[in-house]
Amino acid sequence: MPAERTLSSRNSDEAIGQAMLRYRVMATVVGVLLIALIFVAVPLNHLADVPEPSTVLGTAHGWLYGLFFLSAVDLALRAKWTLKGFLLTVIAGTVPVLSFFAERRATAKMRAGERV
């Protein structure tokens, strides 16, 4: 019985809502860092020979992408996403600006009660 309660509470609407919030926050943070890295830090590195922003933002983005990935896995398992939806969402997180569209699409589908 306790295992059944744990499983049902793990997939409850409240737990899914909390997982979605974690996913949305991480998607936004990683998306902003990726844009700053690609459009500010990398040009500074290559055009002005200032490597520090690339190093700092690149490292931060790499670590935080790992947390984004874990939050997406958590949400996908709780909300029973399709493998295709999960993979497309996670891969979109590696493309500047596209990550915001993927997050919006996933959020809209979740709120409409559809599988991602």
For every one of its 116 residues, what pLDDT tens digit does the chain have, with 9 covering 90 and above?
Answer: 555 555 557 778 899 999 999 999 999 999 999 999 999 999 999 999 999 999 999 999 999 999 999 999 999 999 999 999 999 999 988 888 998 999 999 999 999 988 89
pTM for this structure? Answer: 0.85
Q: What is the pLDDT of residue 108?
A: 94
| Axis crossing angle, helix 13-36 with helix 52-79, rounded to the nearest 10 | 160
Distances (CA, A) of 31 to 7, 92, 113: 32, 10, 25
Q: What is the pLDDT of residue 5?
A: 54
Q: What is the pLDDT of residue 6?
A: 55
